[in-house]
A = this chain, B = another copy of it.
Amino acid sequence: MYLGLDIGGTTIKAGLIDEENRVLESRKVPTVIDNLEGFISKLTEVICDFQKSRPIDAVGIGVPGLRSSKTHVIATSPNIPCLANVNLEKMMADQVHLRVVTDNDANAGAYAEFVCGAGTGLQHLAYLTLGTGLGSGLILNGSLYTGASGYGGEFGHTVIDPNGRLCACGKQGCIETVASGTGIVTTARDKLRTGRNSRLNEIAPPLTAEKIYDAAVRGDETAREVFADTGHWFGLACANLINLLNLEMIVIGGGVMASGEFLLGKAIEVARHYAFASSFADCQIVQSRLWPDAGMIGAALLARDRA
């Protein structure tokens, strides 16, 4: 039996996956982000708890960051800084005496959608998660694409608007600055600054993508425009991926997509306009089937399949 962990900036989700790729049992605990010792001991506690009830063959861990496929060290993890330059696989294996596999969290999500989610049976797909940021993973020619050193599949920091917003990564105009939860909030603030009459003015701070979605559902024009604008950028980004990789599917997950009907329709319309007709015809753009468990399931599957 395989245990998958999806490490988020605030929460760790852990679940046992059975032979039919179903979640048998899962739990959530808060993430320790500021010290490695605390982080490791929290993970050890979670894994040992599962070990008490069932025999575990291996553990997979999805981390928000770039992981080297050569050294297995996490090169960088902006949201959990204590993980930078750490070989988490080795540290955890020493703690729990099990085989431990790590990968980027969105790579794990992509693998799950490919093995048992929206993209089952396909060979070429991208998995994009619209959360606080924009995560991504690629399945190409029927396997998880990781590139020269395991850092491949990063799409959120593609520059799509050189005169655009400053990004948390230090660059300007990354797709993540417009197509993400943070981007949605910034787009709403930009619109409100022009003095519009909108329900969004009455929302108790902090403004969130979820609250903007609620306003959109209730018919607020500004909130709907925010999602349409976001969908436009996201569709443009999808067209670029479709042209470059001639994908069969783009699977969209993440907290923002749970409230995504205002966004997805616009994104598909814009992607159709910008992509080559022949390449667009090959590609479905769909919602995740495994969200919010895709990363956790994928991590367990990687532990099983990456021997």
Contacts and interface: CB of A to CB of B under 8 A. Distances in A.
A148 B282 contact: yes
Given A159-B236, A278-B76, A145 B154 contact: no
B274 A154 contact: no
Given A278-B75, A282-B149, A157 B243 contact: yes
A154 B76 contact: no
A279 to B, nearest CB: 5
Nearest to A248: B148
A66 interface: yes
A163 B160 CA distance: 10
A160 B279 CA distance: 19
B161 A162 contact: yes
Interface in A107-161: 123-124, 138, 140-141, 143, 145-155, 157-161
Given A149-B246, A159-B239, 14 more contacts: A66-B276, A76-B276, A146-B246, A148-B282, A149-B278, A149-B282, A151-B279, A152-B245, A153-B246, A155-B244, A157-B243, A158-B244, A160-B160, A171-B273
A240 interface: yes
Given A159-B160, A274-B159, A279 B154 contact: yes
Query: Most chain-B Cβ atoms within 10 A of its Cβ — which of A75, A171, A244, A282?
Result: A244
Given A124-B147, A149-B282, A154 B244 contact: yes
A54 to B, nearest CB: 36
Most chain B Cβ neighbours within 10 Å, of A123, A143, A245, A276: A245
Interface string A256-276: 000000000000000001101
Contacts of A157: 243, 276
A110 B150 CA distance: 22
A88 B245 CA distance: 24
A247 interface: yes
Contacts of A276: 66, 76, 151, 154, 157
A151 B246 contact: yes
Contacts of A246: 146-154
B148 A247 contact: yes
Interface string A230-242: 0000001001100
